[in-house]
Amino acid sequence: MDEYEIIERLPTVAEHQFLWESVGWGDVDTGMTKASIAASVYGVVAVHKGVTVGMGRIVGDGAMYFYIQDVAVLPEHQASGVGSRILEQLLTFIRTSTHPSGAAFIGLFASEGKEKFYEKHGFRDYSPGMTGMFTVMDR
């Protein structure tokens, strides 16, 4: 029997906060998280012995542009293959959601040191021809 179950659902606000903080991404505003999760296109959680130990979700327009967000696995469950299973489930959703005559743009930001994980799944750095950029807007 498989140790991990990948369930098609969004993480709860509490699960999101716990995983976010457990992987060292800092503190999270749960009010903002609630609204953000509700606006997601799709999500999955990984459950081990009744406890949510991983998550991943997709935001975007659900047709052409997809951004993979919040792929997080508790540190003690990393290197178990569960992160790859989460990512593959997200990519399968995108494959089945893309318009038959079009292509999907799938973006993400990798945490420092996790680039190789995403490269194994077909993601790559397109610079200098195409550069990913972002800004953070504080209120």
Into which CATH architecture does domain 4-119 fall?
A: 3-Layer(aba) Sandwich (3.40)
Q: Are 24 and 60 in contact (CB under 8 A)?
A: no
According to the model, what pLDDT value does residue 127 have?
79
Give 24-61 pLDDT, tens digit per residue.
999 999 999 999 999 999 999 999 999 999 999 999 99
Where along the chain do its domains lie?
4-119
pTM of the model: 0.89
Nearest to 74 by CA among 65, 83, 66, 87: 83
Q: d(Cα 49, Cα 125) in Å, to the nearest integer?
A: 36
CA atoms of 85 and 91, how far apart (whole Å) = 10
